[in-house]
Structure 1
Amino acid sequence: MLTNAGADAPADHPGWRMPAETEPHERTWMAWPSGGYTLGDSWGEAETARRAWAAVANAIVEFEPVSMIVPPTATAEATRLLSSSVELYFRPLDDAWYRDIGPTFVLGPGGRLGAVDWLFNGWGAQSWARWELDAGAADVAIAAAGATAIRSALTNEGGGIHTDGQGTFLVTETVQLDPGRNPGWVKADVEAELARAVGAKKVIWLPRGLTRDSQTYGTRGHVDLLATFAAPGRLLVHDQTDPEHPDHLVSAQLRDVLAGQTDAAGRALELVDLPAPATLRDAEGWVDYSYINHYVLNGAVLFGSFADPSDEPAAEILGAAYPGREVLSVDARPLFARGGGVHCITQQQPRSAEGVRR
């Protein structure tokens, strides 16, 4: 089943490790929204989307470099709204969720930089998705970073995995075992490929994602709405406290699965609740608003706010979870209305030996 893996890097290359998001970054990669449902049907909707992406990039670039992939047809809008400090690369794209269509960067022995190029098929070949251009979107960052390409036979997205940087990974059964992504794969196949490509030593399987994310236009269960490692041994966990919301049961199931779990080093996991926003619905139905979908960068943590009473308590919890980092927020409602959040549109390139030399 794994015969197509590792086309550019030897399949038995020792020591690839996906660093934790909290480790030092060389830069952040993003992609500019330029078409389809992301921009909507009017100039106003399109401008809202562009400003949402720009707000994230312009906040991050104050702390670390940002490289933005921009379709050539969107050059004027990108240069109008982005800080001049944001580096631009030009390439046609279908979509703008670079966490999912871009590579997952890893480090090898001696700090060598690698980049895993997962197969991508529109979140499980969903009828509304287009991915002909996005299937090659990872190559831009791989080439620019000078990384060793690690080709994978696993259909996967960056939003579908989280790691503590020490070999513990969180995934969901509804993503990696999705028959629309990986027909015929079983858990052992996925775990073997994660071990080869990103250094997984223990994989913790969560049963499903949030309710709206499991419906039309969702990812079918990305983990970056559910839980994330604030530090080795410590997990921030999405907690929907309102019993009216269907995710109240999802949160309970999530906690049941994680309770008593240990990480790759044998440590019992400490679970820290990160309560969901008080807002339960929008015009489309139950929301999947989640403060878990934040991005940790050099010296700061950037989270999505929702003009919600829970925004301030969430900022306090995040500040305690990531001591020494400035806590920043951007309005994430335009992002979630389009199917994702701050974490979904960003992808970290870790600092490597090559990067330090440059």
Structure 2
Amino acid sequence: MKKLFFTLLLIPLISSCQGDEMNTIIDKIENTEVMYTMPEESAPHEGTWLQWPHQYQYGTDYRNDLDATWIAMTKSLITSEKVFIVAYDSTEKNRIEALLQESGISLSSIEFKIYKTDDVWVRDNGPIYVKDKNNQLVIQDWGFNGWGKKAAFQNCDMIPSQIASDQKISIVDLNKTMINEGGAVEIDGNGTLMATKSSILNSNRNPSMTQEQAEANFKKYLGTTHFIWLDGKAGREITDMHIDGFARFGNKNTIVTMNENDLLYWEVPQNDISTLYNSKDKNGKNYTFLKLPLSKNNVVTTYGKNLGYKGPYVNFYIGNTVVLVPNYNDPNDVVANQLIQSLYPTRKVIGIDVRNLYANGGMIHCVTQQQPK
């Protein structure tokens, strides 16, 4: 019975396999031992990591256009958890401190780290905190290569090991095992992982890696035993369609996404929409869906640039007592904020203006990374 149930979960993987080959695939994944488990985002945090924008890669305009978003995130998060701020150098640290103090933000719950970074996307290059079998916190350093060598990455790839060394936390070096960005995977905290093949099983990340091998890695290192795979769309922005741009686990029972027309607008393949809407958890139970709108209008930055496309609200971040939601100075901001508030009645939803950040391809979830208690 167990093998039959597992076979049903792996139908997408084994549909082209027969006989002994199919049994070998099932046995390999079944026999992979769970070594670590990743707490879900809504579990209690020690703090949140932010990589502060700087001028050394893309210039001072880039940095200055983004400062306000980082100030707003910091102000919202320090009410209930630490904020770990990565500054490029001591000059930038001093500049950030002055910005925060000018905004009336206490530095008492802020811990600065000086590490060189290429950019701000700590969700993708930062540490992945997991628990080992003894319930001890461990940092996993998955490989990061700039989303398939599309952007500079050497500095950011060093961040997890630098943090582990500073915090004196054990590190699991997975750089030679698998390239995997944090925004490429969603976990429900109950054994299920959701991802797009386009951002993981892609020759620019993991050449020749099979779905079976990826699942074995995720089972061993993240503790997930059930998988929802969408095809995604390679070449759909720099990430090759990360899952956290359009579908998230709101909790163990809920997937937060968009309606069909908006998913098609986001260029999600039609077969993926069907797969997503028919997703089941590891026990075969249907998920509840919360469908958020896109912004009503095309996003216009604070400096007047019309981006020519709408913005999503799915890329939110769950803090200890707050939920930070991307906002666009748009009529649908209040609609999305209220819908998300209904999902998290004990947390305060705070809209964060991400218009300038969105011009560079990301939103709130992309630039935050949780450190569990």
| Fold match by TM threshold 0.5 | yes
SS at match of 1:111: coil
- Per mean C-alpha deviation after superposition, the further-off stretch among 271-280 and 184-193 is 271-280
Match of 2:223 among 179, 199, 207: 199
Query: Aligned partners of 1:165, 1:322: CA distance in 2, in Å?
Result: 16
Q: Given residue 190 of structure 1, which amino acid in structure 2 is its aligned partner?
A: A
Name the structure 2 match of 1:343: 365
Q: Does 1:26 align with 2:57?
A: no
Shift of 1:286: 4.7
- 1:56 is matched with 73
* Paired residues for 1:154-169 under 5 Å: 154-169=178-193
Deviations 1:120-141 (CA, angstroms, capped at 9, x unpaired) = 1111111xx1111111111233
CA distance in 2, matches of 1:145, 1:274: 38
Letter in 2 for 1:64: E
| Match of residue 259 from structure 1 | 277
| Contact kept in structure 1, 2:38 and 2:222, CA below 8 Å | yes
With 283-292 and 54-63 compared, the bigger mean Cα shift is at: 283-292
Deviations 1:21-54 (A, max 9, x none): 11111111111111366x54xx444312122222
Number of residues paired by the alignment?
329
In the alignment, what sits opposite 2:14? Answer: none
Deviations 1:220-257 (A, max 9, x none): 111111111111121011336469x732x527544311
Q: 2:245 aligns with which of 188, 210, 225?
A: 225
Instruction: Look up the SS of the partner of 1:344 in the other structure.
Output: helix
Matched, 1:296 2:318: yes
Q: For residue 157 of structure 1, what is the amino acid of its counterpart?
A: E
Residue matched to 2:24: none
How many Å apart are 1:287 and its aligned residue? 3.0
Structure 1 residues 23-32 or 135-144, which shifts more? 135-144
* Aligned match of 2:328: 306
Aligned to 1:190: 214
Per-residue deviation at 1:109?
A: 2.8
Distance 1:305 1:240, change over 3 A: farther
How far does residue 288 in structure 1 lie from its aligned partner after superposition?
5.8
Opposite residue 287 of structure 2, the aligned amino acid is L
* Aligned positions of 1:80-99 closer than 5 A: 80-82=98-100, 83=105, 84-85=107-108, 86-99=110-123
Q: Which amino acid aligns with 1:334?
A: N
Range with greater deviation from structure 2 (144-153 or 267-276) = 144-153
Does residue 75 of structure 1 match 2:93?
Answer: yes
**Contact 2:187/2:193 (<8 A) preserved:** yes
Secondary structure in structure 1 of the residue aligned to 2:352: strand
Would you say the 8 A contact 1:296–1:302 is kept in 2? yes
AA paired with 1:76?
A: N
- TM-score, length-normalised on structure 2? 0.82
CA distance in 2 between counterparts of 1:154 and 1:299 reads 33
- Seen in structure 2, the aligned counterparts of structure 1 residues 331 and 109 have a Cα distance that, compared at 3 Å, is same
CA deviations over 1:169-214 (Å, ceiling 9, x no partner): 11111100121111111111111111111111112112216x9x81
| Counterpart-to-counterpart distance in 2, 1:55 and 1:240 | 32
Contact (CA 8 Å) 1:227, 1:236: kept in 2 or not? yes
Instruction: Note the C-alpha offset of 1:113.
Output: 0.5
Matched position secondary structure for 2:213: helix
The alignment partner of 1:105 has SS state of strand
Asked if the contact 2:34/2:219 (under 8 Å) is kept, the reply is: no
For residues 260-312 of structure 1, the C-alpha deviation after alignment (integer angstroms, 9 at most, x for no partner) is 32112332122221111112465575536211100001011111100111111
1:214: which partner in 2? 236
Structure with greater Cα Rg: 2
Equivalent pair of 2:260/2:273 in contact (CA under 8 Å): no
Q: Work out the CA distance in 2 between the residues paired with 1:13 and 1:349.
A: 24
Per-residue deviation, 1:80: 1.6
Instruction: Judge conservation of contact 2:196–2:241 (CA < 8 Å) in 1.
Output: yes
- Return the match for 1:121 from 130, 145, 150: 145
Distance 1:52 1:285, change over 3 A: closer
SS of 2:337 mapped into structure 1: helix
Which of the residues 128, 131, 134 maps onto 1:107?
Answer: 131
Kept in 2, the 8 Å contact 1:14–1:108? The answer is: no
Instruction: Specify the SS of the correspondent of 1:189.
Output: helix
- Residue identity in the other structure for 1:135: D
The answer as to 2:270 corresponding to 1:246 is no
Choose between structure 1 and 2 for higher RCO, CA contacts under 8 A separated by at least 6 residues. 1
TM-score (structure 1 length as normaliser): 0.85
SS at match of 1:265: coil
> Is residue 170–residue 204 contact of structure 1 (8 Å, CA) maintained in 2?
yes
